[in-house]
Structure 1
Amino acid sequence: MSGWPVLLAAALLLSSGCSLLKLDKEMQQARQELLLIPGQLQVSDSGRSALVALLDADSKLIAYRIAAPGETFYFTAAPAAYQLLGFDDRNGNFILDNDEPRHWLSNAQSAPLSVQPEPDERARLSQLNPLRLTPSDLQQAPALDLSLEVLYHEQPRMQSNYLQPVSFDDPRFNDKNVRMGAWQPLTFMRELGYGLYLLAPWDKHKEPIVLVHGINSSPRVWQALAANLDLQRYQLVLYHFPSGLPLSNSAYMLSVAIRDLQLRHTPPRLHVFAHSMGGLVARRAVQLLSADDNQRLCLFITLSTPWDGHPSAASGVRDVPLDIPVWRDMAPGSPYLQRLFATPLPTHMRQWLLVSYAGNTRMLPNPNDGTVPLASALRAAAQDEAERLYLLDETHTSILNSRRSHALLERALSSLPAHGCKPANDT
C-alpha cells in the first residue's frame, strides 16, 4: 500500500488528477455497461453450501459462486438474458448429477448495478432470485460441469488465473497493472480479472497460506516473505485484486475463492496473511465464510492494517467531487469499517497483529508509520480480538522485508499443533 497522504496529495497534481478522472469515469461506465444478477440461497435441506452458476441464454457458463444457506450471492455481467442454476453437490464432483437437488431459473432477474448499495437495498436485491434446494427438486435443468478440467478447457480466464503456478516476475504483477488496478479497475477486470495464483503446483501435502496485498500493490510485495518460508511445507496462494474497486467486492470474491479451494482440495487447515488494506479485505472475506467454511482457517495475521481507516480518505470524500469507492470505504467510521468488527471472528481462529511505527511523516498530524496512523492500526476492537500484538520499528512497507516480521510469522506457524488450530492447553 503506497502512502495514503502521498496518494491524496498527488491527486491534486495534474497527472493523478487525470487518474482520478479515469477512476470516476470507469465507475460511471460500470453502472452503464453492467447489470447485477443477485439472489439468495433461501433453503438447502442438507445444510451444505450450494454451487450457483450463471448461464447465458444458450446455457453456456458465464461464472459460478458458492453460497451457504441464507446467504446472498451476486454476479455482474453485460446486459443480456441470463439463467441461474443452483445445485447441492452431494458427492463433491462439481457436476450436476441426476439425483442431486437443483433449482433452475430460466429467466434470471437483474437490476441496475449499484456499486455500494445500502443494507436495505442489499436485502431487497437478494430477493430477486431466490433459490430453494430440497430433496424433491429434481426438475429438468441444463447440464452443468464445474470440474477444473472442464473449466480450464472452456473458460480461458480461469485457465490462466485460477490456481495456476506463477513467479513473482509475472507481468500481471508489474507497476503498470498495479496502477491499472487502482485507477482503472474496470479495465483491469477486462484485461486481467481477479486472480488466485500458486508459486508451485498444488501439493495436497502442503499447508496453504493465502497472501493478500494492499492498495496500489500486487502479490509481488510478498517476495521477501516467500523466500523466508519453508516452501516444502507451505503452499503459498497469491490473491490478486484491483484495489480501486469497493472493498466489499474484493472481499466477496476472496471468500468465494477460499470456499472453492477448500471444497476442491480439502486442506486440513489453511492460513491468511494480509498487508495494509489487504487486512480489511481479508477480515471481511473471513466474516463472509459460513461456520463450516471457516473451521479449517487457523492463523489470520495482518501487517500494518489501518483498521480504523485513513483520514486522507475522509478528506478525499469531502473535497474531491468524484466517485472513488475505495475512499468511501477507507474513510474513518464508514459502513464498511463498522461492519468489520460488528461480528467477531470465530474463537478457534488465531489473530496476530504486526504493527509498524517507524517512518513518521509530517503530512499526517498524528504518529504514523509513514502511511497509516498508529491509532488506526491499533484500533481497540482489533487489539481485543488479537492473540498477539507486536510493534515493529519498521515503516509501512519495510515491515514486509523485515527479519523481525519473518521471524514472527515463522513463530506463529511453529506454534501450531500437529492438528487443529490451538494447542490442547490453550484456552
Structure 2
Amino acid sequence: MKLPIIGLVIALLLSSCTYLKYASIQSEYARIQNAEPGQLNLKHMIDKETYFVIGKTVKGACRCVNLQMAVSAYSDKFKRNERVDTMYFASYETHFGLNLPEGDYDLLVFADKNENKIFEKTEIVGRQSIALNNAAAPENVLNHVEVKLEESISVDWAESIPFPKVNEPQKSLFYPGGTLRSLDDLIFDKGVVTLGMYDPASFLEKAPTMFYALEEDLSFKIPVVFVHGINGSPREFESMVDSLDRRKYKPWFFYYPSGGDLEQLAELFYNVFISGEVIPLNRQPMIIVAHSMGGLVVREAMNRYEGNERENKVRLLVTIASPFGGHAAAASGEKHGLIVLPAWRDLNPDSRFIKQLYRKKLPDFVTHQLIYAYRNPDTFKFGENSDGVVSLSSQLYPKAQQQAAQQFGYDSSHAGILKNQEMINRLMAQFNQVKNIFPDPHIKLLAEGGFNTNLSNDYSPVTQHVIRSAGKYLVLLVNGVIEPVHEDLEHFKRAVEGKTAPVNDVEREFIIFMKEHHEMIERVLDNNSVTH
C-alpha cells in the first residue's frame, strides 16, 4: 500500500531544522560519553534507558516546616559523587520525582535552614540509597521511595547547591513545589515542548513534576486530567478549561516528555494519578481527557489497574483523535531517522506496544467515549481519510471501538478538534453524568466558600485554607445540618464534637476556631435556619 503523504511528512520531519539540530546534539552527547563518560551526560542520550523515581519525604526529627528543600541523586559509576539530578520543592512530606540512568544512587535531602538560598552540606536532613535496574524497576519506574527527615546528617563529600535561577512558582499546601501554574507559564512554551520530544532529560529539568494544576486543591471538586499528545502541552486544552464549571471540577494536567517510551509513561501515569498512593481521592471519581498519542498512554495505564480499593476510579475516559492502531509514519521514522524517538517505536503499527494495548478490557466502572476527527486541511490529499495527522482507520481501530461505550465524529482537523465548540459542549454534558460523592446541595454550599477573616499564625496554613474555603460547610456539618459523605468527614465531626480524639491540626484548630469566633458561627447557623 502506498503512503505518499506519510512519506512526505517523514521527509519534511527528517530534514527540518529542529530535527537536525537535536540529531547534532545527540551526536555530541555520544561523543562526550565516549571521551569522558558520566551519568549526567548519559541521561540526556535518547537511545539510553532512564528510570523515573517517585519518592516522598517523611516527617522525622527535622523541623522543616516552610523551608525550601531539595533532593539530589549522586552516583559513583563514572565519577566520584557525581550529582545526576536534583528536584527542588517547598515543603516536607511531599512527593518528589527524579530522572536517572541505571545504577546505584545516594539520595540526599537538603533543607535551607538559614534561608540564604544555598543548600549547604551542613543542611542535609535525609539520606537514602537506591538501586535502579530492570530487576528493581521492570517498568523503568521506581515507586515507594521514602526518605525520613532527621535534624541533621553529616556527609563529608557533599557539595553546596545554590537555588536555581528561575522565577519562584506559586507555593502549594498540598501539591509538590512548582505544581501550581497558569496556562501561560513559560514551562508550557514551545521550546520546552520540543525538549520533551528530543531531549527528555532537559525537559524534566524544567518541568520535573509532570503533574500540574491551576488552583489549590479542594476535595469536593471532581478532577479532570488532561493529557496531551506528541509535541503537545496543556495549553492545547485552553478552550475546554474555559468551558469547565470550576465550581464542580478542577483541571489537572499530565505534562510529559512526549518523545519518551510510552510504556514507561503509562506506568508513571498509573502511579501518579490512578494508584491512589500519590493522589488519594477518597472515592471521588476522576475524569480523563486525552488527545492523540495521550490516549495511548492512558489506555496502557488502564491495563495496570489491580482492582483494589485504594485505587482511584476513572469513571469517564474521553479519547480524542487517538491513533489506537498506531501510525505508519512512526515506522518510517524508526527506519530512516538519524535519531529515533522511543515514542516512534511504540507508535509503529507492528510494535509490541500496539499489539498488546488491548490485552485487558477496561474496568467495568470506566465509560470510554471515543471521539474522532475527519477534516484533512491539506491542499493535496493522498492515501486514506484522516484528520490531517491520524488516519480514520487508526482512530477507529476495531479493538478500540469494541471497548468504547460511544463514538462521535467531528468535521475538524487533528488540532482543531480541541477547539470545536460542539464537541466541547457534548463533553461538558458527559461530565455532568459523572456523579460526585458530594450531593448537589453540599456542592452548592461549598461553592459559597468559607470565612473571609484574618487568622493568626497560631493556625497552620492548611487549617487557614480549610476555614477560608470550606469553613461554613464544616460548621453546618458539625451542627448536624448536613451529613458527612465519607469517613474523614465523619471523624472530623466526631472530633469537633468531642466524641473522639483529634488526629490532625485541622481538627484540633477548628475546635479553637469555633470557640474564638462564636458570633460568626451563630450567623451561619441562623442563615441556615438551625435551632440550637
Alignment TM-score, normalising by the size of structure 2: 0.57
- What per-residue deviation string (whole Å, max 9, x for no partner) do you get for residues 111-163 of structure 1? 4xxxxxxxxxx56964999999xxxxxxxx97359xxxxxxxx9999968667
Letter paired with 1:402: N
Query: Offset at 1:373?
Result: 0.5
**Among 35, 42, 65, which residue is 1:33 paired with?**
42
Partner of 2:122: none
Counterpart of 1:114 in structure 2 is none
Q: CA deviation at 1:8?
A: 2.1
Instruction: Report matched runs for 1:95-174 at 5 Å.
Output: 108-111=130-133, 126=138, 143=148, 164-174=179-189
Rounded to whole Å, the distance in 2 between the matches of 1:125 and 1:169 is: 35
**1:180 aligned onto 2:195:** yes
Could you tell me which residue of structure 2 aligns to residue 43 of structure 1?
A: none
CA spacing shift, 1:321–1:142, aligned 2, 3 Å: closer
Q: In the alignment, residue 415 of structure 2 is paired with which amino acid? A: T
| Residue number among 100, 105, 113 corresponding to 1:76 in the alignment | 100
Range with greater deviation from structure 2 (302-311 or 261-270): 261-270
1:217 offset after TM fit, Å?
Answer: 1.1
| Identical pairs, percent | 23
Query: What residue identity is the alignment partner of 1:9?
Result: A
Cα deviations by residue, 1:60-113 (Å, 9 ceiling, x for unpaired): 9978xxxxxxxxxx97358554479xxxxxxxxxxxxxxxxxxxx9764444xx
Q: Point out where structure 1 has 5 or more consecutive residues left out of the alignment.
A: 40-52, 64-73, 85-104, 112-121, 133-140, 146-153, 421-427
2:306 is matched by which residue type in structure 1? S
2:360 maps to 1:351: no
Q: 1:265 to 1:26 in 2, by over 3 A?
A: farther
Give the match for residue 385 of structure 1: 403
**Local SS of the residue matching 2:316:** strand
Matched, 1:246 2:264: no
Moved more, 289-298 or 210-219: 289-298
Amino acid at match of 1:268: Q
Q: Is the 8 A contact 2:141 2:268 kept in 1?
A: no
Residues 385-421 of structure 1, C-alpha deviations (whole Å, 9 max, x = no match): 000101111111111001121122112112234559x
Task: Name the SS of the counterpart of 1:354 in structure 2.
Answer: strand
1:376 equivalent in alignment to 2:394: yes
Is residue 193 of structure 1 aligned with residue 208 of structure 2? yes
Which structure is richer in relative contact order (CA contacts within 8 A, separation 6 or more)? 1
Q: Contact 1:5 / 1:364 at 8 angstroms: preserved in 2?
A: no
Aligned partners of 2:325 and 2:394 also within 8 Å: yes
Residue 252 (structure 2) aligns with: 237
The CA RMSD measured in Å over matched residues stands at: 4.3
The structure that has the greater radius of gyration is: 2
* Change in 2 beyond 3 A, CA 1:36/1:392: closer
Alignment-mate amino acid for residue 331 of structure 2 = A
The answer as to whether partners of 1:208 and 1:235 remain within 8 angstroms in 2 is: yes
Q: How does 1:278-297 map to 2 (within 5 A)?
A: 278-292=294-308, 293-294=310-311, 296-297=313-314
Contact kept? 2:104, 2:131, Cα under 8 Å: no
**Counterparts of 1:38 and 1:187 in 2: how far apart (Å)?**
14
The answer to whether residue 449 in structure 2 is matched with residue 399 in structure 1 is no
Task: Quote the residue 2:325 is aligned against.
Answer: 308
- Residues 346 and 4 of structure 1, relative CA distance in 2, 3 Å threshold: farther
Per-residue deviation, residues 323-349 of structure 1 (Å, max 9, x unmatched): 321111111121111221111221110
In 2, the alpha carbon distance for the partners of 1:75 and 1:372 equals: 31
Instruction: Label 1:4 to 1:228 Cα distance change in 2 as closer, same or farther (>3 A).
Output: farther
Cα distance 1:266–1:23, how it changes in 2: closer, same or farther (>3 A)? farther
Asked if residue 408 in structure 1 is aligned to residue 426 in structure 2, the reply is yes
Matched, 1:266 2:291: no
Tell me if the contact between 2:234 and 2:255 (Cα under 8 Å) persists in the aligned partners. Answer: yes
Relative distance call for 1:79 and 1:228 in structure 2 (3 A) is same
* CA distance 1:358–1:24, shift in 2 (3 Å): same
Write the distance in 2 (CA, Å) between the matches of 1:233 and 1:306. Answer: 31
Distance 1:106 1:175, change over 3 A: closer
Aligned residue type for 1:198: A
**Aligned pairs for 1:331-350 within 5 A:** 331-350=348-367
State the one-letter code of the partner of 2:356. R
In structure 2, the CA distance between the partners of 1:8 and 1:192, relative to structure 1 (3 Å rule), is same
Rate the CA distance shift 1:21–1:206 in 2: closer, same or farther, 3 A: same
8 A Cα contact 2:292 2:320, kept in partner: yes
Task: Tell me the matched-pair count.
Answer: 354
Equivalents in 2 of 1:201, 1:377: separation in Å?
35
Moved more, 178-187 or 260-269: 260-269
Provide the C-alpha distance between the structure 1 equivalents of 2:206 and 2:301, rounded to a whole number of angstroms. 24
Please give the per-residue CA displacement for 1:239-271, whole angstroms capped at 9, x wherever unaligned: 111111112232222222113576445351111
SS in 1 for 2:362: coil
Name the structure 1 match of 2:291. Answer: 275
Per the alignment, in what secondary structure is the counterpart of residue 301 of structure 1? strand
State how far apart, in whole Å, the 2-side matches of 1:376 and 1:370 are: 13
Q: Secondary structure at the match of 2:422?
A: helix
